[in-house]
Amino acid sequence: MGRAMTITEKILAAHAGKEQVEPGELINARVDLVLGNDITAPVAIKEFEKIGVDQVFDRDAVALVPDHFTPNKDIKSAEQAKKVREFAKEYGITNYFEVGRMGIEHCLLPEQGLVGPGDIVIGADSHTCTYGALGAFSTGVGSTDMAAVMALGEIWLKVPPSIKLNYYGTLRPWVGGKDLILYTIGLIGVDGALYSAMEFVGEAISELSMDDRFTMANMAIEAGAKNGICSVDQKTLSYIKGRLKRSYQVYSSDPQAEYIREIEIDVSKIGPQVAAPHLPENTKAVEDFTDVRIDQVVIGSCTNGRLKDLREAAAVLRGKAVHQEVRLIIIPGTQEIYKEAMREGLLEVFLEAGAVVSTPTCGPCLGGHMGILARGEKAVSTTNRNFVGRMGDPESEVYLAGPAVAAASAVKGRIAHPEEVL
């Protein structure tokens, strides 16, 4: 009998054609999907063209999503997008998503049924780890690696050790996946899971919606992890039903699987969280920040631009007005999320409160466009990083929070608990 393995190890072993793998082992693994965007794909395309192949390994297994500087903000970003568009046309890429059909890549791919349980997904974007919510191994790589995968359909990987994070207890009101992952990063630090798999388990994870699980897996990279991953359960299977166009394989960790660390977290003791500048680990309860005045709020991104996030923001904003000294920018993650928010009347709630609603884009999260901060300005954002200069001027400040805290802060003009508004 072989060694007991974690879900991550089982996926990697299967894709490497091996009976078993162990942490630290170097493997060549078959890839199910490779992803690039308008910033990373042009570099990958340049490298791909040097390889000398006349086609990609599988036209259906490459996804190109222009989402960072789109709709294009200037001539340079228009040239980047044009390069991706022309490559997609020349090589017959099935999953190229133009403006009007696109979304923020990590919201779009699960929604479109392009990723599923048991997959290996490689993306030239650090937040590719999002798809671990579906029980997939997904991780970010550089553009050169993306080029090699587009040509060969496989990648060289070192098997990561796993950390088991067990979340137990009952969630408090207004606490979701963003609060749990911010709390966790505060607990272990931004290098607390360096090159490890963060395996999220426990009764509290089972209670979370898929949207919340995507949020948690998305921010595994902010603890230095190679990937974040959840077990596949009925919620996962319900989510992929009717979406996923191909077969999939469900893996689960063996009871005797080895972990380098096991962490127990009682969620009943966790309230809404805020991460102060300039690291996601600078996390405390929202009550510790209620004297921080702000200039801007952003609700959106690949972390919190999904439907549940917008519903939560609308529940706080309904019948309220955005503070006169605050700019509130709301960005649905995909066209489908945008349409559903429109059907449910959420957009009307936002507009009547005094927010602006944008087409799907990563825009402000990386200091690209659609909400850049000036020197000295402070923002509350549902994005994933608050590094120095991340959303604009190096002397601006970003506070990370979930959508309910972000919405409450927009109303109050300072960082606020949702219950202060309701």
Same domain, 278 and 260: no
Specify if 284 maps to a domain: yes
Is the N-terminal amide bond of 71 cis, ω within 30° of 0?
yes
Helix (H) / strand (E) element for 200: namely strand 197-201
Same domain, 299 and 250: no
Please count the structural domains in the chain.
2
Helix (H) / strand (E) element for 322: namely none
**Residue 1, pLDDT score:** 65
**Residue 251, pLDDT score:** 98
**Of 345, 351, 417, residue with least CA distance to 380:** 417
Kindly state the average pLDDT of the residues 141-150. Answer: 97
Last residue of a domain, one of 264, 284, 302: 264
Specify if 332 maps to a domain: yes
Same domain, 121 and 208: yes
Same domain, 15 and 43: yes
Specify if 422 maps to a domain: no
Domain span at residue 88 reads: 7-264
Same domain, 92 and 187: yes
Same domain, 226 and 328: no
Same domain, 81 and 196: yes
Same domain, 179 and 299: no
Same domain, 189 and 282: no
Same domain, 151 and 197: yes
**Span 21-49, pLDDT tens digits:** 999 999 999 999 999 999 999 999 999 99
Angle at 289 between CA 288 and CA 295, to 5 degrees: 175
Residue length, the chain?
Answer: 422
Alpha carbon distance 109, 30 (integer Å) = 19
75 has a pLDDT exceeding 90: yes
Sheet holding 162-168, edge to edge: 227-230, 197-201, 162-168, 261-266
Q: Does the pTM exceed 0.95?
A: yes
Same domain, 49 and 176: yes
CATH number at residue 323: 3.30.499.10
**Span 158-211, pLDDT tens digits:** 999 999 999 999 999 999 999 999 999 999 999 999 999 999 999 999 999 999
How far, in whole angstroms, is CA 198 from its chain's centroid?
Answer: 14
Specify if 363 maps to a domain: yes
163 beta partners:
198, 261
